[in-house]
Amino acid sequence: MNFEEIRKKANREWERFNRLERPRILIGAATCGRAAGALEIWETFKKELASRSIEADFCEVGDLGMCYAEPCIEIGVPGGKRVLYGGVDDKMVAVLVEDFIVKGDPRPDLALCTFGDVKIEGIPAFQDLPMIDKQVRVVLRNSGIIDPDNIDHYIARGGYSGLMKCLKMKPEDVIEEIKASGLRGRGGAGFPTGVKWGLARNSKADAKYIICNADEGDPGAFMDRAVLESDPHAVLEGLVVGAYAIGARYAYVYARAEYPLAIKRLERAIRQMEEYGFLGENLFGSGFGVSVKIKQGAGAFVCGEETALMASIEGRRGMPRPRPPFPAQSGLHARPTNINNVETFANVSEIMNRGAAWFASYGTEKSKGTKTFALAGKINRTGLIEVPMGITLRDIIFNVGGGILNDKAFKAIQTGGPSGGCIPAKFLDMQVDYEELAKVGSIMGSGGMIVMDEDSCMVDIARYFLTFTENESCGKCTPCRMGTQHLLRLLEEISEGKGRPEHVATLEKLGKAVRSTSLCGLGQTAPNPVLTTLVHFRDEYEAHIREQRCPARVCKAMLTYAIDTEACESCGLCKKDCPVEAITGSKKPP
């Protein structure tokens, strides 16, 4: 089939899917939904409908990003009403079947929002939800809407149109289009994607490689996983566009083995691409061909670094090497290689479809487009979001994220995962882009955001992240191997009440040394949580050291418990109720 025939077939399938000739149940069955019991709810729906002899269509979809409301279930009925419900449990299933599917009452008191053209009084539309209304969904354009295992759904929503445009252009013109969009790599450093592709394009060799880095390992980050589980074709299409642009015939997706559902959906998507002609030799008569393989990583955080990742693909231990030569000149198997992450490629496919100017209309002067973030921590609406570059932290936390849990005071936000910095409340109105985050000692990273409230101890937060990076250091270079160990030891001593006044100066000196002398990005950014908390929360370090006190009452070694003997009534109830038997004595004596 040619592409026009493929698109017509896909459109027919999409129209059939949305016709709603009988009830349709969409289950948000990415990892977040599954962890909340989505598949069990699926079975409950089937049993409930079967008991009433009601025939219905069921379909797994991806992650809408509203993790706080999982499991999320969309019910559509003939006539076009489509309603999303959150936090669905077994009891709700029977109610929704009886009231909505049987009687036609959508139960606005239980609903989150509506989809489609049919509006329902008392239920907001999806795009009007507080978590959604400030979002611009480019990478997440299909997440939670299509069946990720059905290539026709992706094509019907504009999928592979960008690749078909690309195949009619010169590779150099494709690179110029990506340059014009202003797209920067979404994996952390933010290097201009088009420039990076140009370097690989200009390198001469008998073979070239392009790699999608899906080795997402930051604590609290799940952007790549959610995208791969919800819309794998968007990433693979961008990967093939990149391969065409630089002249690579071999492509890899490097995904950590801890993402089994993402890998399963990638494997199915690759088979479908081969069946439809989007992979293989001479794509649609263009003379260009490419193959895609999946390489499963063993979960080493350092393999997110380009040279370590390539060593892992080659079957060697994942350890970084000095640069130059850069991967664009000598990468995988000593051939020119380009590496971008999941989010970057998902942007590429839509940029080629809708144009560079459209993408560049979002964001700031130096940081164009949108960015996905994983909101986690002490925040009401945890989940996956996509917002324009330049939005403020205040908007993200209090408008999109719904504010702090239990109305506690906001204290800090960690951006960029263990490699990022802790940003205090005084910077709530700063814009979120690459340059502004760097000014306060943090980074964009891949997009993790961990929110902390007044009960968070910043010394303990720094210790937590150093525990991770010290454990994940590959050990190749001395500054990272030994520096992270010593930083962690000092933080542990401070947390245990053994800190000395000179520890603060030592942490600063050592952190700066590790940052400036480490071989790769892991070591160069590992001290960021320590250095930023020392700048913005030095008083907490001083309290731990000079007063032997944890202001947030988190560090257990500094907690004491005592009974006021003058107020004691000798009833013995406290001894009876203490869950850890910390109280001694008998009745009558205080």
Average pLDDT score over the chain: 96
Lowest pLDDT segment from 362-371, 400-409, 410-419, 556-565:
556-565
Indicate the angle between helix axes 260-276 and 223-230, nearest 10 degrees: 40
Judge residue 451's burial from the number of C-beta atoms within 10 Å of its C-beta, 0-12 exposed, 13-18 middle, 19 or more buried. Answer: buried
Confidence band, pLDDT 50/70/90 cuts, at residue 563 = confident
What is the dihedral angle through the alpha carbons of 495, 222, 252, 388, rounded to the nearest 10 degrees? -110
β-bridge mates for residue 255, sequence order:
214, 296
The answer to whether the beta carbons of residues 259 and 214 sit under 8 Å apart is yes
Mean pLDDT to the nearest integer, 406-435: 95
Residue 419 has pLDDT above 90, yes or no: no
Q: How far apart are CA 485 and CA 483, in angstroms?
A: 5
Q: How far apart are CA 28 and CA 71, in angstroms?
A: 7
Q: How far apart are CA 75 and CA 24, in angstroms?
A: 6
Residue 73 has pLDDT above 90, yes or no: yes
pLDDT digits (tens, 9 = 90+) for 504-539: 999 999 999 999 999 999 999 999 999 999 999 999
Tell me, letter by letter, the H, E, C secondary structure of 257-306. CCCHHHHHHHHHHHHHHHHHCCCECCHHHCCCCEEEEEEEECCCHHHHCH
221 SS3 class: coil
Alpha helices in 440-501 (DSSP H): 458-472, 478-495
Mean pLDDT to the nearest integer, 538-553: 96
How many angstroms separate the Cα of 435 from the Cα of each of 365, 390, 442, 457?
10, 10, 10, 27
In 3D space, the residue among 262, 35, 41 whose CA is nearest the CA of residue 143 turns out to be 262
How far is Cα of residue 566 from the mean position of the Cα atoms in its chain?
54
Mean pLDDT to the nearest integer, 418-436: 95
How many angstroms separate the Cα of 89 from the Cα of each of 100, 113, 163?
16, 17, 42
Predicted pLDDT at 187? 85
β-bridge mates for residue 256, sequence order:
297
pLDDT digits (tens, 9 = 90+) for 460-485: 999 999 999 999 999 999 999 999 99
In 448-565 the beta strands, taken as DSSP E runs, fall at 448-453
Scanning the structure block, which residue is given the tokens 């999608």? Answer: 212
- 119: amino acid identity, one letter: K
442 SS3 class: coil
Work out the number of other CB atoms within 10 angstroms of the CB of residue 389: 23
Mean pLDDT to the nearest integer, 430-451: 93
Mean pLDDT to the nearest integer, 404-411: 97
Dihedral sign for Cα 151, 155, 156, 157, please: positive
Predicted pLDDT at 185? 95
pLDDT digits (tens, 9 = 90+) for 351-364: 999 999 999 999 99
> What is the number of residues in the chain?
590
For residue 284, what are its two tokens?
């649609």
Q: How far apart are CA 172 and CA 201, in angstroms?
A: 8
β-bridge mates for residue 75, sequence order:
25, 83
pLDDT digits (tens, 9 = 90+) for 269-321: 999 999 999 999 999 999 999 999 999 999 999 999 999 999 999 999 999 99
Q: How far apart are CA 369 and CA 429, in angstroms?
A: 20
The answer to whether the beta carbons of residues 54 and 23 sit under 8 Å apart is yes
β-bridge mates for residue 388, sequence order:
370
How does strand 337-341 pair with strand 209-214?
parallel
In 3D space, the residue among 82, 90, 88, 86 whose CA is nearest the CA of residue 131 turns out to be 86
The answer to whether the beta carbons of residues 83 and 121 sit under 8 Å apart is no
DSSP class per residue in 302-321: GGGSHHHHHHHHTTS-----
Q: How far apart are CA 401 and CA 211, in angstroms?
A: 33
The answer to whether the beta carbons of residues 17 and 153 sit under 8 Å apart is yes
Q: How far apart are CA 428 and CA 215, in angstroms?
A: 30
Scanning the structure block, which residue is given the tokens 């994996």? Answer: 187
